[in-house]
Every structure is written in C-alpha cells, then in structure tokens.
Amino acid sequence: MKKLGLLLCLFTHVMFGQEGEQTPFKPPAPLIHLLKLLDDCLTEGAAALKLWQSSSLPQELRSTPITFIEVPMIQTENGARRPNPLDAFNAWLQESPKAGSLINN
C-alpha cells in the first residue's frame, strides 16, 4: 500500500502548500501505525485480511467465520475495470453461502 503513503504526502502538499507556508499536516500516531502495517499490501483484499488478522477483537467476533472475496478486474469491450460491490456480491453468491450469512462490502 505504498500508494497510500504517497497519497498522504500528496494530501499534505495540496492542503498545506510548500514547506514553510504553514505547519504541515502531521498524521496522528494511529494513522502512522496503520500506514506501516499496510505498507506491503498490494491489494485491498490483502489489506482487509491483514487488518482482520492484526486487530484485537472480542473472541465472539474473532470466532465468527469470515470469507474474503477477491474479485479480479472485470474485462469489458472498453478494457478492464475495477470490480464494484455488485461484482463482489455475485462472486460471494458463487461461493454458495449458508442461509443467514452476511456480506459487507
């Protein structure tokens, strides 16, 4: 997720101008920790999995079965496009989820 760090730098430059004009944005410690945690993730799916694995959650939630659905780029006549929530939902349905299962995208 090196792009996320780059995005933060760009945000800082756009919001606060050249160095010395104003006090630059200093991200809070939790955001810095999150950026470092996700720095080696190449996809949103990898980031979601890493967050799930590294989060301190109550045992009731941790023991809940979870499935991460990764949807590849969708090929169209105009080229590839990013999958949207409907694409993820359809991919989840192809996994034959149990009745009562939930999806959050």
Domain spans, the chain: 2-72+80-94
- What is the reported pLDDT for 52? 86
Nearest alpha-carbon partner for 92 in 73, 105, 80: 105
- What is the reported pLDDT for 2? 52
Do the Cβ atoms of 45 and 70 come closer than 8 Å? yes
The DSSP 8-state label assigned to residue 100 in this structure reads T
- What is the reported pLDDT for 11? 53
List per-block mean pLDDT (blocks of 10 residues) for the chain, which spans 105 residues: 52 51 65 81 84 86 83 93 91 86 66
Q: How far apart are CA 37 and CA 50, in angstroms?
A: 8
- pTM for the predicted model, two decimal places: 0.57
- What is the reported pLDDT for 36? 83
Residue tagged 């190449």 (tokens): 42
